[in-house]
């Protein structure tokens, strides 16, 4: 089947990362794979403690926290596998998800990145298969009674994300980076022959998938297996809003790469920023009234 290098980035998440590693070892039945933990200059505890319980892993200790993409690039430099799996530290495998996803990837033609189904710890589906944003998508999402006038099949294919039940495998524009499997040879096509690491965190998965789409590769969502992605997020309202602002900024960077900074970009920016700013405002009101954050 080919060797898989499983890359996990750790930054002050020792317990989460340990649980993730434990689940990979317990459930993965591949004849050949390796686990590489890249520690992004954690201060919580000594990263060498990973080697006490998991002596067979590769541990890379970065001298600085360069972010998610840069950390993965450090791991890829020392990866010996034909395939790379980027796996978030806050994920838990409950079955042999890696083998199943690899088998799926190997049956597809001209495939770029493959992601699998993810659920929250309470079993609720995460919207991991996505369409790139566009003026059309934003307007349909704003006036969502329109897509709901369509049949489920047409609506789900047109919109993906929260409009899709994530119950079948299909091609998507981009996928959640908490579980991304791809052929290492693809990196030859990337800028500087590595994952684009201009974003410190958030939006890298969409950026990489967009770059592969430009090269005529197809990104796929695989529904044949699932993992738990804790993805609890910050419980601090101000931090959550700051995060959403970073994500909005990165969305605009990606849109500029896709469409340039002409009229399309100008109108998209007005619609997108206005819509998201209003949603953030409503979340703030809800938080003040209830003390609860909306995902």
Enumerate residues 6+ apart whose C-beta is below 8 A from 94. Answer: 23, 27, 226, 227, 228
In-domain check, residue 154:
yes
CB 251 within 8 A of CB 272: yes
pLDDT digits (tens, 9 = 90+) for 73-122: 999 999 999 999 999 999 999 999 999 999 999 999 999 999 999 999 99
Can you give the residue range of the structural domain that contains 269?
A: 237-290
For residue 41, is it within any domain? yes
Domain match, 251 and 189 both: no
Domain containing residue 31: CATH number: 3.90.550.10
For the full predicted model, state whether its pTM sits above 0.85: yes
Domain identity same for 32 and 91: yes
Q: Looking at the structure, tell me whether residues 252 and 118 fall in a common domain.
A: no
pLDDT in tens, 228-243: 999 865 445 667 777 8
Structure tokens at 267: 């109108």
Spatial distance between the Cα atoms of 163 and 165, rounded to a whole number of angstroms: 7
Of 115, 147, 163, the residue at which a domain comes to its end is 163
């Amino acid at each position: 089947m080919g060797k898989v290098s499983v890359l996990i980035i750790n930054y002050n998440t020792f317990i989460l990362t340990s649980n993730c590693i434990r689940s990979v070892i317990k459930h993965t039945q591949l004849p050949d794979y390796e686990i590489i933990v890249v520690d992004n200059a954690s201060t919580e505890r000594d990263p060498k403690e990973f080697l006490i319980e998991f002596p067979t892993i590769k541990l890379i200790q970065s001298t600085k926290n360069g972010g998610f993409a840069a950390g993965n690039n450090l791991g890829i430099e020392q990866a010996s596998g034909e395939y790379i799996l980027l796996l978030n530290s806050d994920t838990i495998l409950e079955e042999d998800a890696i083998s199943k996803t690899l088998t799926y990837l190997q049956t597809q033609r001209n495939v770029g990145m493959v992601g699998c189904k993810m659920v929250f710890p309470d079993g609720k589906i995460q919207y991991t298969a996505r369409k790139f944003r566009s003026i059309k998508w934003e307007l349909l999402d704003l006036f969502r009674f329109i897509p709901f006038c369509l049949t489920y099949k047409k609506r789900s294919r047109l919109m993906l994300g929260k409009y899709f039940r994530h119950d079948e495998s299909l091609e998507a524009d981009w996928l959640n980076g908490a579980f991304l499997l791809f052929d290492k040879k693809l990196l030859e096509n990337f800028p500087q022959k590595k994952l684009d690491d201009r974003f410190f965190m958030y939006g890298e998965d969409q950026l990489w998938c967009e770059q592969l789409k430009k090269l005529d590769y197809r990104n796929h969502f695989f529904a044949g297996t699932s993992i738990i992605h804790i993805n609890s997020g910050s419980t601090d309202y101000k931090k959550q809003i700051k995060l959403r602002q970073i994500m909005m900024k990165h969305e605009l960077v990606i849109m500029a790469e896709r469409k340039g900074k002409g009229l399309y970009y100008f109108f998209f920016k007005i619609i997108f920023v206005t819509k998201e700013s209003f949603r953030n405002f409503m979340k703030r009101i809800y938080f003040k009234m209830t003390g609860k954050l909306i995902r």
